[in-house]
Structure 1
Amino acid sequence: MRVDCDIVVVGGGHAGCEAAHAAARLGRSVVLVTLRRDRIGWMSCNPAVGGMAKGHLVREIDALGGLMGRVTDETGIQFRTLNTRRGPAVQGSRAQVDRRRYAEAMQRRMAETPGLEVVEGMVENLEVQGGRVRGVRLEGGGRLGAGAVILTTGTFLRGVAHVGEVRTACGREGDRPSVGLARALEAAGFELGRFKTGTTPRLVGKTIDFSRLEIQPGDRPPRPFSFWTDPTTFPHLPQRVCHLTATGEATHRIVRENLHRSPLFRGEIVGRGPRYCPSIEDKVVRFADKASHTVYLEPDGLDTDEVYPGGISTSLPEEVQRALLRTLPGLEDVEIARPGYAIEYDWVPPHQIRASLETRRVAGLYLAGQINGTSGYEEAAAQGLMAGINAARRLGGEAPVVLGRDQAYIGVLIDDLVTKGTDEPYRLFTSRAEHRLLLREDNADLRLTALGAALGLIDETQLGQVEARRRRLERARARLEGTRRKGQRLAQWLRQPGVTLEAVAAADPDGPWAALDAADRRTLEVEVKYAGYVARAQRRLERQTAAAAVEIPESFCFRGRAGLSAEVVEKLERHRPRTLAQAGRIPGVTPAALEVLSVYLLRETRGGDEGCTAAPG
């Protein structure tokens, strides 16, 4: 088989779907190569989208014309806002979705996109000539010629799954690994690393006593992810609750007694796992003083009895998994539908890619998703969207789109990868963003929809909706700043604790409040109440920039500094950066940590820290 197209996308996961859709929408002929058509858009781990910082990514993808938010709204069975006790900049939207329906909805999007063809097969090799990619070779001898190739291989590159003493070569449960493509990348001169991730056992719902468990309901009313979802007809599916249970000493004892059967602790797994999604084995060992760990029982869908127990991923033998699960309240008689497992896979350290996600070594070759060292559906989808946009623009002779750290969390994510790199599976957090007060979920449309329209991914109707919303907000803001009540501007009154926009509107019946919908009201209230904090954040950023060249004495002690987490201290002591700028390039050292460090450094004399016991490294 010989087929020529503009762009080949390898892999049909979250990154691959966004990449293929975006490139095809921009007028390119796209072939998406996947092992199984029925696994396009499949959620390999938990049946959920969003979370802290991840919800920001989904809304930014949506504002730029991507798919994840709309498909989530179409298939969601619970919607919740996380971190509601904190400010709006660090809150996160999260949805439980019907796993099967999500994949089917994404598959429909692929089938309905003009210029996008799906081919089942295994990519075995890259065709590279003169430093440029020319296409791919398929298992069995087929060839796909292309001007650009986007690799979104997930955990498939030389993937190996571990359950106890059993090792299975696979990309995920039931799917073959991609060995030839890993070798092709090495042959092309790329450095590869090895990471590990894991998933939980899947439970038979009818064997769980839910009556004994705490219920975790969704928001009422639920809030959609997509700016283009009609709130009057949302949600589209019946809503479900989740449940909470927890491990205890009996659970931890079983884990400790069986660590010798864990491939992680036997040394069979060499890949580094995600710090923020540890297995239950890791939790018991690393947090030995913790008496209990919460487990979230999440429904897998409306038409299945399967339950996903979030927070208890494991690669222990299946019989040990069953025993430890049966120590949890409500799970005394639980049966396992499928055991949990750990999976190792190859990845490409991202110092080898540009901010456009094009590789430095091979022109026209783009990488997106877990192949770049990230974890999470949302991080993968965001990279896929940008890789698809930039591959399409490259073929048209246009400059790549690179979002700044002050524009979007997508910009923070990609900048972190290509400038700092990562030594463990990367997860996005709000603390990684210097401008998080500006980069909120609620204003992603105001920040990015015009760009999406300029690129050709947002239509005129959608752009018109956002511009109309912008005008409504401007009128309302002008009213708040220009109208007085009892000698005080309405904006000043609204900034007072406990005062809501509803109270202001009631006191000002002639204002433009009736024209504001629920989303407008949220955005307006946040912007007015947090105006002072935003200005302060801008000044803080200016100070950080000026302090970036401050030297760090070799004798400086990082331990015992309020505001520096244990993770940050560990990394600083390991790398011993010479300047703040170098410290900022260490994976895991956040902008907030840099600011704290800069304050301490400015207070210290250049002679060092007398209390430091760390040997300079």
Structure 2
Amino acid sequence: MQADIVVVGAGHAGVEAALACARLNKKTILVNLYEDKIATMPCNPSIGGPAKGIVVREIDALGGEMGKAADATALQMKLLNSSRGPGVWALRAQSDKIEYSNYMKNVVNNQKNLTLKVGEVADILIDKNNKVTGVLLTDETKITCQAVILTTGTYLSSLIYRGSEKYQAGPNDEKTATRLSESFKKLNINYFRFKTGTPPRVKANSVDLSKAILEPGTDMQLAFSFSTTKPLPFAKQLPCYLLHSTPETKKIIEANLTKSAMYSGQIDATGPRYCPSFEDKIVRFNQKETHQIFLEPEAKALDTFYVQGFSTSMPIDVQEKMLKSLPGFENVIVDKWAYAIEYDCIDPQQLSLSLEMRQVPNLFTAGQINGTSGYEEAAGQGLIAGINAVRKLNVQNPFILKRSESYIGVMIDDIVTKGVIEPYRLLTSRAENRLTLRNDNAEVRLKQYGYELGLVSQQEYDKYLVFKKQIDEAIEELKNVRFSPKSDLALELDQLGQAHLSQGLSGYEILKQPQVDINVLVKYLDKLQNLSNNQLQNILINIRFEGYIKKENETIERFNKLEAKQIPNDVDYSKVENIAIEAKQILERIRPTSIGQASRITGVNPADIQMLLFHLKKKYNTV
């Protein structure tokens, strides 16, 4: 078999990578362990959340598929953190995990230039220069290609743990890839073990929901994708539920802690800090008697709840006691028991910012193999890896998103520059420029990139230009139209208690007042009418936070000056004088592409950066 690019693994990273390659006219083969398990949700059946939801919007703006799939298969849509600052607003969809996978399977099967091949990759083939030439499957099938993208998720030499039970399997007892990790040794790729876990699934009709708190979605027209014209109506949304564990739950954990696979010493791998097992919560937050737990529907075709926040590696008998200690779970019936899973992943500091392995040309990696966690983080990396694999074959410069223009850029810079010591999760706190990296402005930030890359069609880009023009015209109208204290708008705002106009003000000035709802102004201004929720949010935020945004843009400009100071590829760090030996070794290992990236490396101090700048000016006269 022959292809331009082979993508290994059809999870969320693999699907985005393969679609990007195929849509950019490269013959692509997507190798997966199963024919029907495409972009599955072995853990939480949801898309989005804080920071993650913005990543999905960015994927969509760049021409990816995740946002469209999430909109088409949502059971519930929610705007999170709407009572807080706009920098942390984010969409979250409770997804139908069956329909989501079916949607992606259909897209993959109907994509031109893309072929799905069922099999297990056993080896990465290279030439005498260590450059990728293909892959070898366990059935001895050889696929020749010019580039390979590894998106293996948690399937690499994975082990399932539940109490004292331990066996080789992938998520949900699926197959695991046992031979691919061996090829890493041949290629001198450093790798290690991480672990994650998942909670039990229970029969919904066995839970007394009268003892839980209803958690409905948001009654707004919400969508991840710019192309979604009919968002999920509020009336058709399915509810989630909130409850709390009990002091009895805590006692059961404490009495059986040594039976947990994690606390018995069976698992040495590092787990996720921001999605800990329930027993880990009890140990780390021992002063708390109860913890939040959410019940989330998994699919319309299933009568099951995902018990969010109740991940555990306890044996089944202890899990049963834990579950029955929860309010309303006295007669619970379990559909699937919880487990922990341990798997191989690589050290991402071996990658360039394009997600190409530095020591193995044309080998790219994306998703949990890079030490990240989450469907959204995986999809974002997969899209970038796919784009850059194509650009490498086309002899084009890599596509690198800056930290200042996307959460995807923040994530990739974090894992490549700083490395990972635990499964990496995107958080809003990781971004310095949260006010400019918002949910509402993903198109404004990235749509042009998607168009220029060739992943956004002319028709969609033209639609975006109209979208942007409508925003600009509405802002201009707000500046020019004034309202007197006796105007209908002024009287309505006063009656609603949102504002009291003692003098004539423009719509722009009125919107600067923090209590004013932009929706009240819509009927008084022609250019605001028929705008989408994202357009109205964009207008409101840009007006209300104008001063803060200006300051942040000034900071970004200074930051970008450091990023613009490129470091030549052939720098010999051993010859840079007056910097610490440790700094020389770290810089040599990571080989940053800019002074900005070098300054963010753990172990490299400001004094080292100054000496590096001096060396570059002296030797290259470029900085």
Which TM-score tier does this pair reach, normalised by the shorter chain? 0.7 to 0.9
Matched letter for residue 275 of structure 1: R
Give the aligned residue type for 1:453: Y
Alignment of 1:322-401 (within 5 A): 322-401=320-399
Deviations 1:453-492 (A, max 9, x none): 1111111111011100111111111222344444534322
- Measure, in 2, the Cα distance between the counterparts of 1:356 and 1:279: 33
* Structure 2 counterpart of 1:133: 132
For 2:225 and 2:235, the matched residues in 1 are separated by 15
> Which piece of structure 1 moves more, 529-538 or 236-245?
236-245
Q: For 1:387-536, list aligned pairs within 5 A.
A: 387-485=385-483, 486-505=503-522, 508-509=524-525, 511-536=526-551
Distance in 2 (alpha carbons) for counterparts of 1:104 and 1:275: 31
Look up the match of 1:165: 164
| Paired residue total | 552
The separation in 2 between residues aligned to 1:222 and 1:215, in whole angstroms, is 20
Which one is further off, 205-214 or 111-120? 205-214
Change (3 A) 1:342 1:531: same
Separation of aligned partners in 1, 2:66 and 2:244: 31
Corresponding position of 1:194: 193
Q: Equivalents in 2 of 1:475, 1:222: separation in Å?
A: 22
Aligned to 2:255: 257
CA distance change for structure 1 residues 586 and 312 in 2, over 3 Å: closer, same or farther?
farther
Q: Secondary structure at the match of 2:26?
A: coil
Paired position in structure 2 for 1:99: 97
SS at match of 2:387: helix
Matched, 1:297 2:295: yes
Task: Give 2:202's aligned residue.
Answer: 203
Report the counterpart of residue 176 of structure 2 in structure 1. 177
What is the identity, as a one-letter code, of the residue corresponding to 2:77?
F
Q: Stretches of 4+ moved more than 3 A in 1? A: 233-238, 482-489, 502-506, 538-548, 580-587
Query: In 2 relative to 1, CA 84–237 (structure 1 residues): closer, same or farther, beyond 3 Å?
Result: closer
Distance 2:561 2:413 in 1: 20
Change (3 A) 1:138 1:489: same
Question: Which residue number in structure 1 is paired with residue 84 of structure 2?
Answer: 86
Give the letter aligned to residue 80 of structure 2: L
Whether contact under 8 Å (2:59, 2:67) holds in the other structure is: yes
Q: Is the 8 Å Cα contact of residues 220 and 234 (structure 2) preserved in structure 1? A: no
Distance across 2 between alignment mates of 1:406 and 1:547: 12
- Decide whether the 8 Å contact of 1:251 with 1:324 is kept in 2: yes
For the 8 Å contact 2:479–2:508, the answer to whether it is kept is: yes
Distance 2:77 2:522 in 1: 28
Matching residue's letter, 1:199: T
Q: SS at the partner of 2:242?
A: strand
Residue 36 of structure 2 aligns to a residue whose secondary structure is helix
Structure 1 unmatched runs, 5+ = 549-579, 588-593, 595-617
Q: Measure the CA separation in 2 of the matches of 1:516 and 1:187.
A: 56
- Local SS of the residue matching 2:173: coil
Q: Deviations over 1:222-251 (max 9, x none)?
A: 4111110013x6459942101111111100
Distance 1:500 1:222, change over 3 A: closer
SS of the residue corresponding to residue 105 of structure 1 reads helix
Q: Out of 12, 15, 31, which is 1:14 matched to? A: 12
Shift of 1:445: 1.1
Question: Could you list the runs of 5+ residues in structure 2 that have no partner in the other structure?
Answer: 484-502, 564-595, 607-623
One-letter identity of the residue aligned with 1:24: A
TM-score (norm 2): 0.85
- Could you tell me whether the CA contact under 8 Å between 1:243 and 1:296 is conserved in 2? yes
Distance 2:335 2:416 in 1: 40
Matched residue of 2:19: which SS?
A: helix
Could you say what secondary structure the match of 1:4 adopts? coil
Distance (Å, rounded) in 2 between the aligned partners of 1:220 and 1:136: 49
User: For 1:148 and 1:235, how far apart are their aligned partners in 2?
Assistant: 43
The TM-score normalised by the length of structure 1 is 0.86
Once the two structures are TM-superposed, the CA of residue 515 in structure 1 deviates from its matched residue by: 4.8
Q: Determine if contact 2:7/2:31 at 8 Å carries over to the other structure.
A: yes
* Preserved CA contact (<8 Å) 1:370 1:380: yes
- Contact 1:76 1:237 survives alignment (8 Å): no
CA distance in 1, matches of 2:178, 2:98: 28
DSSP-derived class of the 1:382 partner:
helix
The answer to whether residue 62 in structure 2 is matched with residue 39 in structure 1 is no
Contact 2:28 2:113 (C-alpha < 8 Å) held by counterparts: yes
CA distance in 2, matches of 1:73, 1:236: 13
Letter in 2 for 1:179: T
Which digits, 9 at most, give the CA deviation of each residue in 1:1-35, with x for residues without a partner?
xx010000000100000000010000000000001
CA 1:339–1:357 in structure 2 vs 1: closer, same or farther (change >3 Å)? same
Question: Helix, strand or coil for the counterpart of 1:383?
Answer: helix
Letter in 2 for 1:535: K
- 1:139 is aligned with what amino acid? T
Alignment partners' CA distance in 1, 2:367 and 2:106: 22
Q: Deviation digits for residues 170-207 of structure 1, max 9, x if unmatched?
A: 12222222121001012210111111100001111221
State the shift of 1:333 in Å.
1.1
Aligned residue identity for 2:543: V
Letter of the aligned partner of 1:500 in structure 2?
Answer: D
Q: 3-state DSSP class of the match of 1:5?
A: coil
Alignment check: 8 A CA contact 1:375 1:426 kept: yes
- 1:540 deviates by 5.2
Deviations 1:94-138 (A, max 9, x none): 011111111111100000100100010000001011120000000
How big is the shift at 1:162?
Answer: 0.2
Two-structure CA RMSD over aligned residues (Å): 2.2
Q: Which residue of structure 2 aligns with residue 269 of structure 1?
A: 267
> In 2, are the aligned partners of 1:80 and 1:222 still within 8 Å (CA)?
no
**Which residue in the other structure is 2:588 paired with?**
none
Which whole-Å CA distance do the structure 2 matches of 1:157 and 1:237 have between them? 42
The answer as to whether partners of 2:246 and 2:290 remain within 8 angstroms in 1 is yes
SS state of the match for residue 171, structure 2? coil
How far, CA to CA, are the matches of 1:449 and 1:544 in structure 2? Answer: 22
The answer to whether the 8 A contact 2:74-2:232 is kept is no
The aligned residue for residue 154 of structure 1 is 153
Structure 1 partner of 2:219: 220
Whether the aligned pair in 1 keeps the contact of 2:213 and 2:241 (CA below 8 Å) is yes
What is the letter of the counterpart of residue 413 of structure 1?
M
CA distance in 2, matches of 1:84, 1:515: 22
The aligned runs of 1:271-290 (5 Å cut-off) are 271-290=269-288
8 A Cα contact 1:160 1:169, kept in partner: yes
